[in-house]
Structure 1
Amino acid sequence: MKLLIKNMVCDRCVRVVREDLENIGLKVAKTELGYVELAEQASSIQFQAIKDTLQNSGFELITDHRLAIVEQVKLLIINEVYELNTNKSSSQNFSDFLVKRLGYDYSFISSLFSNIEKTTIEKYFIVQKIERTKELLFNGELRLSEIAWKLNYSSVAHLSNQFKQLVGITPSEFKKIEHKKRHSIDQLQNDVNSI
């Protein structure tokens, strides 16, 4: 039985969800960002226990098909940005990638995402890329030009402009700040609305 879980967007989340479900006596076959696969079908009583347990840890079991599609889009974006997903070819644009992975027309996916999230897929993608940029700047292992290339920006200037628009300072200024302000992936909704 495969379950789609909202807000399960980092390795820590995967670990917490797995532990929570195992603590209520369920055998977890597989966990990954946004998903849990149980070894067996859950009874209606277990299903309610799953919902309650997840909610207590700040997660939500997604049972609405429309919400499931939106959550899948978010997870694909996160995978693309943070895991440097190599499943799509460099010549394929992200909208085509979403259509292929989800099996729906892009206008439907885009409209559904905008209606539910109150932002566009593009803006959500930008927020994730800027947060990844902040992480890479913080780590100090890559130059800005390497970060721009890694995140598929057309130029350093394009990355710098989006960074300044969202963060309020340039990447260079950000690097100089002693205490860098970063958000966890699951707390970026406020940033999405500021674009």
Structure 2
Amino acid sequence: MASNILFVKNMVCHRCILAVTDILMDLSIPFQQVTIGEIHLSESIAKQQNDLLSTNLIQIGLELIDNRMHGLVEKIKQLVLMKARKEIGEREHKMKLSAFLSEKLHHEYTYLSSLFSSVEGRTIENYFIDQRIEKVKELLVYNEMTLSEIAFEMDYSSVAHLSNQFKKSSGLTPSHFKRLGLHKRKLLDHI
């Protein structure tokens, strides 16, 4: 069964799942389910179908991942994104990032960290910070919360801590970013 799982890079939301599902249906490729980052096929597909699927995915900004190491890195990214955006349960939210990833992926964190750094050229922690800052940017653009409320919501120890991390990551202060608005946000798959 594991050989019938394809890993897909850059899937970050429910719309990605719907788009991939549509492609699979259009290509008449039998599948069991599509989750973020994975396609669970009903049966193995021929190279020609695989190539056609790959071409269609590239047209919507996604791509098939050809080996397990890159697949694991994509799983790390998906879990980091979920944790940074607080799309996990309360118990998991309270866990340290390293323990959360180790528990979810059944690997030692040192292995995951080393693999991620070798493939992505940066640390998991740096990626996590960038994801949190993108969520902060989103909240700033909505203009429904104060910076203090955002700092509390995103689990920063203080507004100063949030502001320092924001400036390091984006080069702007949160208030300057807010004045500039939406055009400074990054697409999630470009972080």
Q: TM-score range by the shorter chain?
A: 0.7 to 0.9
Q: Deviations over 1:35-64 (max 9, x none)?
A: 2233x1132243333233323433221231
Corresponding residue to 2:107 among 104, 107, 120: 104
Aligned length: 187
State the shift of 1:87 in Å.
Answer: 6.0
Which amino acid is 2:45 matched to?
S
Which amino acid is 2:58 matched to?
Q
Corresponding residue to 1:182 among 160, 167, 185: 185
Task: Give me the whole-angstrom Cα distance separating, in 1, the residues matched to 2:122 and 2:91.
Answer: 24
Task: Give me the whole-angstrom Cα distance separating, in 2, the residues matched to 1:178 and 1:124.
Answer: 22
% same residue: 39
Which residue is 1:43 aligned to? Answer: 45
Q: What is the TM-score normalised by the length of structure 2?
A: 0.87
Task: Give me the whole-angstrom Cα distance separating, in 2, the residues matched to 1:32 and 1:152.
Answer: 28
Local SS of the residue matching 2:175: helix
Which region of structure 1 is more displaced relative to structure 2, 170-179 or 89-98? 170-179
Is 1:84 matched up with 2:84? no
Which amino acid is 1:175 matched to?
K
Task: Name stretches of at least 5 consecutive residues in structure 2 with no aligned partner.
Answer: none
Task: Give me the whole-angstrom Cα distance separating, in 2, the residues matched to 1:89 and 1:178.
Answer: 32
Corresponding residue to 1:161 among 161, 164, 176: 164
Higher helix share: 2
Contact residue 4 and residue 61 of structure 1 kept, 8 A? yes
Contact residue 5 and residue 61 of structure 1 kept, 8 A? yes
Root mean square deviation, CA, Å: 2.0
Contact residue 10 and residue 185 of structure 1 kept, 8 A? no
State the shift of 1:90 in Å.
Answer: 4.4
Local SS of the residue matching 1:89: helix
Which residue is 1:61 aligned to? Answer: 64
Q: Deviations over 1:142-194 (max 9, x none)?
A: 22222222222222211110111122221122222255411110122xxxxxx
Task: Give me the whole-angstrom Cα distance separating, in 1, the residues matched to 2:15 and 2:62.
Answer: 12
Which amino acid is 1:17 matched to?
V
Local SS of the residue matching 2:40: strand
Local SS of the residue matching 2:101: helix
Is 1:140 matched up with 2:155? no
Contact residue 11 and residue 37 of structure 2 kept, 8 A? yes
Which amino acid is 2:43 matched to?
Q
Task: Name stretches of at least 5 consecutive residues in structure 1 with no aligned partner.
Answer: 189-195
Contact residue 31 and residue 43 of structure 2 kept, 8 A? no
